[in-house]
Amino acid sequence: MNLLVRGGTVIDETGERRADVAVSSGSIAAVGDSLDAPDGATVLEAGGCLVAPGLVDLHVHLRQPGAEEAETVESGSRAAARGGFTAVVAMPNTDPPVDCAPVAAEILSLAAGALCLVAPAGAITVGRAGERLAPMGELAALGVRLFTDDGAGVQDAGVMRRALEYARGLRARGLGVILAQHCELASLADGGVMHEGGWSSRLGVPGIPAEAEELMVARDLSLTRLTGGAMHFLHLSTQRSVALVAAAKSEGLAVSAEVTPHHLSLTDAELAGFDPNYKVNPPLRGAPDVAALRAACATGVVDAVASDHAPHPPEAKETTLQAAAPGMIGLETALAVALMALGPTDGTADDGAPGRAQSPEVAVAAPALSPREVVGLMSWRAARIAGLSVDQGGDQGGPLVPGAPANLCVFDPTERWVLDPARLSSRSRNTPWAGRTLTGRVRHTVYGGELVVLDGEAQR
């Protein structure tokens, strides 16, 4: 398929320039002014749009195998493509979990027909039970790069120490694996439903203290130091968590961190209506936490924004706050919500009509990252953590130069739209953004040279 992306502004790790992008046979054929369309090319009008490397989501739940009523590799990859993603890392808390080569191989075979690259993550421990190490070497031999028991943290420090040593050994053999921790101490978090603070007291709902996360961040930073290992911290949610990571980075520890669009935008005050769509792990925190996470994105302490797309069927959400499953879908809203939380505008229109992607008490001036910096958190920087970037032998994250793989996200950073859950490609509907006005919309996605999304619509 030949394509010409015409009239946009190209943004990638190397900078920003007005240019057309020509795509031919899966690769970028040319980048420049007033390019002629390749033979038989489809022309994509990109006036007013940014043309970026495809986005890379480090953290999605695709529910296959085991919960196909909520999502499948195919439906999740379609949602990803409509969100501008050309690669996602699929968490291993499936049923059965991805703790052995056959399950990873099954996901890889399903991924062959997907609308974006689907990289399965492997479990750190067998059954994600936190006791015996999973055969990470076998999984790494299949191409698995990121290992996590996500959905739960590895509770036992001795097990985590051995996992860090095992992963370090695999890296010494040239397998670029990384451990990723869901930081949550079960002894403090179990039974909790939302952030422990003023709102949980007022609502009479059991809380999860910030310390449930921070104690595990602190412990795992110590274990990283002890082992000379490397660690990625998933979905950090508190002010002190990012402060701990900042200190570890200045010390030179090999650590990286991600935050989610929802933790950058929403607070625990949203739980006042007892709506289970706001129930998520880690829980939505307070306004000072949101401000600290935003600042940590601006200072480089946070390396990536990841959706933690967590689809659930209606019966798991249409129940009480206490009984509901935690998690929210996010692939199709991640870019807009991240741009609104971190970018130069919070989505308020020229006529003063507000964008409503943020809880009222955090609707203050954002750190004003440029759209290119926001995309960096969601593309080339994320790709590097996942081991998927071009300089690591992968095909994600750009830069957009002739000869490079044609993975592109074309988006209009100013388009305002109202999220209608019925129009999502995900099989699930558990989004907190239903009916909210978002700013920033994906127009076209090109994956491996194929136009998978045109004018916001999936092409297959």
CB closer to ligand DOR out of 148 and 396: 148
CA angle 245–196–281, rounded 5-degree value: 60
- Closest to ligand DOR by CB, 61 vs 162, is 61
Segment interacting with ligand DOR, rule: CB under 6 A, options 77-85, 325-333, 338-346, 380-388: 325-333
Q: Which is nearer to ligand DOR, 281 or 307 (CB)?
A: 281
Comparing CB distances to ligand DOR, the nearer of 208 and 223 is: 208
Q: How far is the CB of 299 from ligand DOR (least distance, A)?
A: 25
What is the size of the binding site for ligand DOR (CB under 6 A)? 11
Binder to ligand DOR among 6, 61, 162, 443 (CB under 6 A)?
61
Q: Cβ-closest residue to ligand DOR? A: 327
Q: What are phi and psi of 348, to 5 degrees?
A: -65, 130
Q: Side chain identity at 116, as an amino acid letter?
A: C
Which residue matches tokens 């709102």? 199
Q: Which of 280, 306, 406, 451 binds ligand DOR (CB under 6 A)?
A: 280
Nearest approach, Cβ of residue 311 and ligand DOR (Å): 8
Q: Which two tokens stand for residue 344?
A: 């130069």
Strands 437-447 and 408-418: antiparallel
Interactions with ligand DOR, residue window 410-429 (CB under 6 A): none
For the annotated catalytic residues, the residue numbers are 308
Between 309 and 381, CB nearer to ligand DOR: 309
432 is an interface residue for ligand DOR by CB under 6 A = no
Residue among 326, 347, 371, 413 that touches ligand DOR (CB under 6 A): 326
Q: How far is the CB of 390 from ligand DOR (least distance, A)?
A: 30
**Angle, CA of 151, 325 and 126, to the nearest 5°:** 30
Residue from 150, 220, 303, 346 that binds ligand DOR (CB under 6 A)? 150
Interaction of residue 281 with ligand DOR, rule CB under 6 A: yes
Residue 291 to residue 70: CA distance in whole angstroms: 32
Phi, psi of 84 (to 5 degrees): 90, 5
Nearest-angstrom CA–CA distance, 349 and 343 = 14
Q: Does 310 bind ligand DOR (CB under 6 A)?
A: yes
Closest listed residue to residue 335, CA positions, set 389, 376, 289: 376
327 binds ligand DOR (CB under 6 A): yes
* Radius of gyration, CA atoms only, the chain: 21
By CB under 6 A, the residues from 174 to 193 that bind ligand DOR are 182
- The terminus-to-terminus CA distance of the chain in angstroms comes to 15
Nearest to 145 by CA among 377, 380, 392, 331: 392
- 317 contributes a contact to ligand DOR by CB under 6 A: no
* Stretch binding ligand DOR (CB under 6 A), from 26-34, 117-125, 323-331, 372-380: 323-331
Q: Do 123 and 152 form a contact (C-beta atoms < 8 A)?
A: no
Q: Tabulate helix, strand, coil % of the chain (nearest 5).
A: 30, 25, 45
CA angle 327, 105, 96 (to 5 degrees): 45
Nearer to ligand DOR, 327 or 440 (CB): 327
State in angstroms the smallest separation of the CB of 448 from ligand DOR.
28
Measured CA to CA, the distance from residue 384 to residue 380 in angstroms comes to 6
Asked if 151 interacts with ligand DOR (CB under 6 A), we say yes
Give the residue with the Cβ less far from ligand DOR, 151 or 387: 151
CA distance 93 to 314: 19
Which residues of this chain interact with ligand DOR, rule CB under 6 A?
61, 93, 150-151, 182, 280-281, 310, 325-327
